[in-house]
């Protein structure tokens, strides 16, 4: 059996190793992805974002359990940061997902950002392709929990869940651009904490002010209060996800098509950017031109980055 | 333009004891050495550990033990790795072991045992020397 056939048959070892090859940017992994791509597009992709410590892993864990009760299979990608100093990482999200470790219907993979910004890894789109091809019904992506600007997940998921907790910020936080704009569903987790009602109120005002994603006026993002550790509010959150899915599918699936296009465009552009750069560097190498040389010349102000790039493109893209 | 392959390591604590300071210290040391460390916390069964190691495609499993549970859990983990065609994953142990148990553990395929007092840099060096990130699935 070929690797692609093993993946389509749900072989966990093959899936795990292919994900590794993708993450390490092994060129042969691309050929396997080519074979898998026609078999994808079936899975529903859910993104979870929000600051560190708001309880994203616990929510993902609870929802995975509920989806399993419904007989659906689940893939989880859990992203944690890479150290900018050593390149190492501690990936600890599985701690909160232990009850699934022996369930064949759940596949969990921990990923390190490896210097990629935006909340995902370079490899996230391709990894979703693999989990989709292996037959997972629901794929949950937990972004790295940092920053106000990690909005890549919105180009990757059908439904983006923005998780916050009471007392995280004030009204100014709530009207800043970026992460607050990408939620299709808002969750106020740890809702037993003081100030939960106030947080919900602030979020509601924000939504009513019309600061929601452009072109999405039909969908009013719901705000769900949860206590993930106790499983409270999970049913309501699951209902909200289902309502959002239905919303994407209604009216001749126009919203659904829009999300599919957005996902395809992001994946295409990212792949193009990566491959074009790799090809350019390869061609430079072939001609004996060294990147280090160019870097030195720019650093010493013998030339500038703009001229170098212009020259390179003129020379290589002829 | 392939990145350098990252060494992926699972640090796990089999058995019932809830003291994971040593495990966290070694996880941190491996992180500082530039490895990707999957940390699952305490109270892991051999089945959970092997299932995690396979899903995460790790090169090395580091088992931390204080309680004496190694006599059951280590052989079981080695069995399960074999059953899953995953014997290529290196397994090492750290913690407190009766001296007479160490040769027995090595006989079932545990590559190295580190006792209390082992220097972090020595453990990291051992890993660098003995464990290489695995090769791509298709050349």
Which residues on A lie below 8 Å from B55 (Cβ)?
12, 16, 107-109
Q: Does the domain formed by A41-255 have CATH 3.40.50.300?
A: yes
Across residues A134-139, what is the average pLDDT?
Answer: 98
ipTM for this model: 0.91
A28: left (phi over 0), alpha (psi -120 to 50) or beta: alpha
Instruction: Judge whether A115 is closer than 8 Å to chain B, CB to CB.
Output: no
pLDDT higher than 90, residue B70: no
Q: Give the residue carrying structure tokens 């969990």.
A: A108
The mean per-residue pLDDT over the stretch A110-125 comes to 91
d(CA A12, CA A18): 10
At B2, the pLDDT band (50, 70, 90 cuts) reads very low
- The answer to whether B6 contacts A19, with C-beta atoms less than 8 Å apart, is no
* A83 touches B: beta carbon within 8 Å: yes
* CA–CA separation, B138 and B2 (whole Å): 14
Mean pLDDT, range A289-293, rounded to an integer = 90
Partner-chain contact A13 B48, CB within 8 Å: no
In a domain, B138, yes or no: no
Is the pLDDT confidence value at A227 over 90? yes
The whole-angstrom separation of Cα A309 and Cα A70 is 54
Q: Considering only the beta carbons, identify the residue of A13, A23, A28 that sits closest to B54.
A: A13
Residues 6+ apart with CB under 8 A from A69: none
Torsion angle of the four alpha carbons A206, A211, A217, A222, in this order, in degrees rounded to the nearest 10:
-30
pLDDT-above-70 percentage for chain A: 93
Q: Would you say residue A318 has pLDDT above 80?
A: no
Q: Is residue B124 in some structural domain? A: yes
**For position B1, what pLDDT does the model report?**
38
Mean pLDDT computed over A79-94 = 91
Query: Token pair 């569903």 is at which residue?
Result: A185
Residue B58 domain flag = yes
Q: How confident is the model at residue A171 (pLDDT cuts 50, 70, 90)?
A: low
Percent of chain B at pLDDT > 70 equals 96
Nearest CA to B94 among B45, B22, B29, B10? B22
The continuous run of DSSP H or E covering A47 comes out as strand A44-49
Q: Would you say residue A214 has pLDDT above 60?
A: no
Hey, is the C-beta of B99 within 8 angstroms of any chain A C-beta? no
| Contact across the interface for A110 and B40, Cβ inside 8 Å | no
Q: List beta partners, residue B12.
A: B63
Residue A217, pLDDT score: 66
Residue A84, chain B, CB below 8 Å: the answer is no
For chain A, say whether B33 makes contact (Cβ under 8 Å). Answer: yes
pLDDT at A43: 97
Task: Give the integer Cα–Cα distance in Å for A259 and A157.
Answer: 8
pLDDT at A181 over 80: no
B69 contact partners, CB below 8 Å, separation of at least 6: B14, B15, B16, B17
Tell me the domain boundaries of chain A: 41-255, 268-317
Interhelix angle for A305-316 vs A234-286, to 10°?
Answer: 80
Would you state the pLDDT for residue A135?
97
Q: Which residue of A has its CA nearest to B24?
A: A90
Q: What is the pLDDT confidence band of residue A210, given thresholds at 50, 70 and 90?
A: low
Q: Can you tell me the distance from the alpha carbon of A154 to that of A141, in angstroms, rounded to the nearest whole number?
A: 11
Of residues A151 and A125, more confidently modeled:
A125
Structural domain harbouring B119? 8-35+46-83+95-130
Look at chain B and report how many structural domains it folds into. Answer: 1
A140 vs A183: CA distance, rounded Å: 15
Distance CA A71, CA A129 (A): 21
Q: Is there a contact between A114 and B38 if contact means CB atoms under 8 Å apart?
A: no
Contacts of A278 in chain B (CB under 8 A): 1
Between positions 229 and 288 of A, the ones with CB within 8 A of B are 274, 277-278, 281-282
Query: Using 50, 70 and 90 to split pLDDT, how confident is the model at A17?
Result: very high
Q: How far is A190 from A196, CA to CA, in rounded Å?
A: 8
| Model pLDDT, residue B108 | 95
CA distance A167 to A151: 22
Write the residue in B37, B40, B56 that is nearest to A16 by C-beta. B56
If pLDDT is split at 50, 70 and 90, which confidence band does B91 have? very high
- A112 and A81 Cβ atoms separated by less than 8 Å: yes
**Is residue B14 within 8 Å of B77, Cβ to Cβ?**
yes
Domain annotation covers residue B119: yes
* In the predicted structure, residue A147 carries a pLDDT above the cut 70: no
In a domain, B79, yes or no: yes
Contact A32, A40 (CB under 8 A): no
Q: Kindly state whether A309 is in contact with chain B, defined as any CB-CB distance less than 8 angstroms.
A: no
Contacts B86 to A, Cβ<8 Å: 13
Q: What is the mean pLDDT of residues A103-109?
A: 95
Cβ of A12 within 8 Å of Cβ of B55? The answer is yes
Q: What is the mean pLDDT of residues B55-69?
A: 91
Identify any residues that bridge with B11 across adjacent strands, giving them in sequence order. Answer: B39, B62
Give the residue-averaged pLDDT of A164-174.
71
- Characterize the bridge pairing of strands B112-114 and B36-39: unpaired
Shortest alpha-carbon distance between residue B39 and chain A (Å): 5
Stretch B7-33: mean pLDDT, rounded?
Answer: 90
C-alpha A51, offset from chain centre: 14
Mean pLDDT for the stretch of residues A194-219:
76
**Mean pLDDT lowest for which of A198-207, A298-307, B69-78?**
A198-207
Closest CA to A137 of A35, A67, A240: A67
Largest CA distance in chain A: 65
Is B26 at the interface with chain A, CB within 8 A?
no
* pLDDT tens sequence across A245-283: 999 999 888 899 999 999 999 999 999 998 899 889 988
Which residues of chain A are within 8 Å of residue B134 when distances are taken between CB atoms?
17, 20
For an interface test with A, which of B23, B24, B33, B36 has the most A Cβ atoms less than 10 Å from its Cβ?
A: B36
Closest CB to B39: pick one of A13, A28, A92: A92
Which of B12, B40, B41 is the mutation pick for testing A, counting most A CBs within 10 A? Answer: B40
Which of B29, B39, B133 is the mutation pick for testing A, counting most A CBs within 10 A? B39
In whole angstroms, give the CA distance from residue B47 to residue A71.
Answer: 23
The CATH number for B61's domain is 3.40.50.280
Q: Is the pLDDT of residue A213 over 60?
A: no
Tokens for A35, please give them. Answer: 């074979």
DSSP assignments along A114-128, one per residue: TT--SSS-TTHHHHH
Is residue A111 classed as helix, strand or coil in its secondary structure? Answer: strand
Which residues in A lie closer than 8 A to residue B2 (C-beta atoms)? 24-27
């Amino acid at each position: 059996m070929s690797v692609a056939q093993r993946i389509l048959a749900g072989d966990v070892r093959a899936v795990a190793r292919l994900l590794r090859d993708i993450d390490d940017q092994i060129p042969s992994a691309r050929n396997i992805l080519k074979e898998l791509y026609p078999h994808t597009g079936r899975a529903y992709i859910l993104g979870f974002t929000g600051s560190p410590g708001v309880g994203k892993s616990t929510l993902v864990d609870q929802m995975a359990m509920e989806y399993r009760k419904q007989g659906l299979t689940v893939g989880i990608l859990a992203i944690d940061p890479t150290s900018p100093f050593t390149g190492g990482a501690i990936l600890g999200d599985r701690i909160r997902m232990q009850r699934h470790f022996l369930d064949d219907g759940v596949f969990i993979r921990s990923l390190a950002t490896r210097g990629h910004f935006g909340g995902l890894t370079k490899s996230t789109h391709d990894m979703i392709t693999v989990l989709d091809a292996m037959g997972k019904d629901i794929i949950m992506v937990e972004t790295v929990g940092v920053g106000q600007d990690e909005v890549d997940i919105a180009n990757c998921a059908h439904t983006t869940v923005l998780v916050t907790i009471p007392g995280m910020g004030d009204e100014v936080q709530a009207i800043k651009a970026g992460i607050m704009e990408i939620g299709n569903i808002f969750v106020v987790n740890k809702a037993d904490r003081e100030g939960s009602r106030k947080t919900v109120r602030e979020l509601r005002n924000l939504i009513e002010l019309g600061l929601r994603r452009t072109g999405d006026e039909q969908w009013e993002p719901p705000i769900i209060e949860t206590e993930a550790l106790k499983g409270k509010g999970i049913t309501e959150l699951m209902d909200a996800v289902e309502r959002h899915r239905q919303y994407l599918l209604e009216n001749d699936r126009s919203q659904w098509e829009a999300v599919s296009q957005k996902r395809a465009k992001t994946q295409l552009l990212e792949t193009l950017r990566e491959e074009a750069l790799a090809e350019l560097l390869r061609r430079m190498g072939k001609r004996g031109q060294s990147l280090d040389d160019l870097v030195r010349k720019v650093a010493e102000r013998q030339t500038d980055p703009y001229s170098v790039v212009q020259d390179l493109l003129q020379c290589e893209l002829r | 333009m392939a990145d350098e392959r990252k060494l992926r390591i699972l640090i796990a604590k089999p058995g019932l004891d809830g003291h994971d300071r040593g495990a966290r210290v070694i996880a941190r040391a491996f992180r500082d050495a530039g490895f990707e460390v999957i940390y699952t916390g305490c109270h892991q069964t051999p089945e959970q550990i092997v299932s995690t190691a396979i899903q995460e495609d790790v090169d090395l499993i580091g088992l931390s033990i204080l309680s004496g549970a190694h006599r059951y859990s280590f052989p079981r983990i080695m069995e399960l790795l074999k059953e899953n065609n995953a014997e290529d994953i290196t397994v090492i142990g750290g913690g407190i072991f009766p001296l007479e148990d160490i040769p027995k553990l090595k006989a079932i395929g545990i590559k190295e045992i580190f006792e209390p007092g082992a220097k972090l840099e020595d453990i990291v060096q051992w890993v660098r020397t003995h464990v290489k990130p695995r090769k791509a699935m298709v050349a």
